[in-house]
């Protein structure tokens, strides 16, 4: 059995953990540069505020005092996430961290008769020790655990823990779950299925497996098996990422190549560091840029270019150099760029990198790997003491609009919570 532990309205809950006066109020957290809503409290959801709505459309609610707005504070959220995952790791036989606010617990070794009480105790412990409310879905597969988690969040009677441990419960849960809410199907595929009369998860599992495989491929068939109660998502596939993207919107449009190069270097270095952290390497680097699509009075340009690597790499130097090569190829003067980013893909395990017998850069590549590892020892996720010369000095978040940002309550001595 698996237990999916999901932090409720995580970014908002992090804000409330250190600012209890926000409890019961409508709260939203904004994306970088205070652009759009990326997290909502239940109260703001009840007001009809949609995920992704631009801030300027709801600014009147903030100005009138009906809505509390917070800028994203990823350093704080990352630290609280580490605390939550540390608690789960100390309790679970095995933990698979899926995202900043979700983790799968393997309940092998825990008495099935105590699954619910075990998870209820865990919900209380996480709330008591971190201030973060969590919900838990228990089921024999990860996809069903996701379904159970939705019910644990939606209905207070579950007290934060919902278990799907019988076929009767499974069928009832699937009949109440829209097919677009199923993990592995999503809202892009859902309209196609709905057009065929498949509206719920139960409709989906009632279709023949071969039909599902023919329409949605092997991944769709795997989702079908998971909803039947079979454990069909291996641990390594759950954890392995196919792509890594780092991007930012800028407070003001950037028209010159030099400043864009500094930003893109930062993004590429972040991607490289994530690759090393996961012991993987990328075979391709893509750089992209956007002008401001909301400004019809300005010229628009949305370029992107992929740069293949001769040998899959994860060093700062190789990833940054490839990104800058792509940037120089697509940059055009006369535009103000509002957003840029770097994507690395064709990702493989680091242990599977195969060099060429005639690789003239093998020695240099090895030296760059050593330098990148040395940088990792001195740098933290939010502060970088060692950087390449092509990167910006200072903090990664500098230059990003954050007019409503809370303090770094848990990671800065100068911004610790004050008790009077």
Average pLDDT, integer, range 235-264: 81
Average pLDDT, integer, range 100-119: 91
Could you list the beta-strand ranges (E) of 182-313: 244-254, 280-291, 304-313
What are the chain's domains?
111-235 (1.10.150.20), 244-378 (3.30.1490.100)
Give the pLDDT of residue 393.
Answer: 61
Average pLDDT, integer, range 111-136: 95
The CA distance from 355 to 318, in Å, is 15
- Tell me the per-residue pLDDT of 79-103, one tens digit each, with 9 for 90 and over: 999 999 999 998 887 888 888 899 9
Q: Decide if 344 contacts 284 (C-beta within 8 A).
A: yes
Q: How confident is the model at residue 127 (pLDDT cuts 50, 70, 90)?
A: very high
The CA distance from 152 to 194, in Å, is 26
- Tell me the per-residue pLDDT of 326-378, one tens digit each, with 9 for 90 and over: 999 999 999 999 999 999 988 888 777 765 545 556 666 667 667 667 677 66
Of 296, 402, 409, nearest to 33 by C-alpha is: 402
With a cut of 60, say whether residue 396 has pLDDT above it.
Answer: no
Give the pLDDT of residue 373.
Answer: 73
How wide is the angle at C-alpha 248 spanned by C-alphas 247 and 250, nearest 5°? 150
Please state the pTM of the whole predicted model: 0.69
Give the pLDDT of residue 72.
Answer: 87
The CA distance from 322 to 330, in Å, is 13
Give the pLDDT of residue 359.
Answer: 55
The CA distance from 290 to 288, in Å, is 7
Return mean pLDDT, the chain.
Answer: 86
Render 33-75 in DSSP notation, one character per residue.
Answer: GG-BEEEE-HHHHHTTPPTT-BHHHHHHHHHTTSSEEEE--HH
Q: In sequence order, what are the residues at sequence separation of 6 or more whose Cβ sits closer than 8 angstroms to the Cβ of residue 84?
A: 7, 101, 126, 130, 132, 134
Q: Decide if 4 contacts 23 (C-beta within 8 A).
A: no
With a cut of 90, say whether residue 116 has pLDDT above it.
Answer: yes
- Tell me the per-residue pLDDT of 291-315, one tens digit each, with 9 for 90 and over: 988 788 888 999 999 999 988 888 8
With a cut of 80, say whether residue 147 has pLDDT above it.
Answer: yes
With a cut of 60, say whether residue 277 has pLDDT above it.
Answer: yes
Could you list the beta-strand ranges (E) of 108-261: 134-139, 161-163, 244-254
Edge-to-edge strands, sheet with 68-71 = 37-40, 27-30, 68-71
The CA distance from 339 to 31, in Å, is 13
Of how many residues is the chain composed? 420
With a cut of 70, say whether residue 383 has pLDDT above it.
Answer: no
């Amino acid at each position: 059995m698996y237990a999916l532990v999901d932090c409720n309205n995580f970014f908002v809950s992090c804000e409330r953990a250190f600012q209890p006066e926000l409890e019961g109020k409508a709260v939203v957290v904004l994306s970088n540069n205070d652009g759009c809503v990326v997290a909502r409290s239940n109260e703001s959801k009840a007001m009809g505020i949609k995920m992704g709505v631009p801030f300027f459309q709801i600014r009147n609610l903030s100005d009138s005092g009906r809505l509390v707005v917070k800028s994203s504070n990823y350093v704080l959220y990352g630290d609280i996430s580490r605390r939550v995952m540390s608690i789960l790791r100390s309790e679970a036989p095995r933990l698979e961290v899926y995202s900043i606010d979700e983790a799968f617990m393997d309940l092998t070794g825990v008495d099935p008769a105590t699954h619910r009480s075990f998870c209820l105790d865990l919900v209380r412990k996480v709330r008591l020790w971190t201030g973060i409310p969590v919900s838990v879905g228990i089921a024999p597969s990860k996809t069903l655990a996701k379904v159970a988690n939705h019910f644990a969040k939606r209905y207070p009677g579950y007290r934060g823990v919902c278990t799907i441990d019988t076929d009767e419960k499974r069928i009832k849960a699937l009949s109440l779950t829209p097919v677009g809410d199923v993990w592995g199907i999503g809202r892009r595929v859902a309209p196609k299925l709905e057009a065929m009369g498949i509206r719920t998860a139960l409709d989906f599992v009632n279709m023949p497996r071969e039909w599902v495989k023919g329409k949605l491929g092997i991944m769709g068939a795997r989702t079908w098996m998971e909803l039947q109660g079979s454990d069909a998502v291996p641990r390594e596939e759950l954890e392995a990422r196919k792509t890594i993207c780092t991007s930012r919107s800028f407070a003001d449009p950037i028209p010159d190549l030099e400043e864009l190069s500094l930003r893109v270097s930062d993004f590429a270095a972040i991607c490289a560091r994530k690759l090393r952290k996961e012991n993987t390497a990328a075979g391709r680097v893509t750089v992209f840029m956007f002008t401001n699509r909301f400004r019809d009075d300005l010229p628009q340009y949305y370029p992107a270019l992929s740069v293949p690597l001769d040998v899959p790499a994860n060093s700062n130097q190789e990833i940054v150099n490839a990104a800058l090569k792509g940037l120089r190829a697509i940059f055009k003067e006369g535009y103000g760029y509002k957003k840029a980013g770097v994507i690395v893909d064709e990702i493989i395990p680091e242990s599977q990198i195969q060099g060429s017998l005639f690789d003239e850069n093998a020695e240099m590549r090895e030296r760059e790997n050593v330098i990148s590892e040395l940088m990792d020892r001195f740098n933290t996720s939010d502060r970088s003491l060692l950087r390449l010369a092509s990167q910006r000095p200072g903090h990664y978040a500098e230059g990003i609009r954050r007019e409503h940002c809370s303090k770094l309550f848990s990671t800065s001595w100068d911004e610790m919570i004050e008790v009077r």
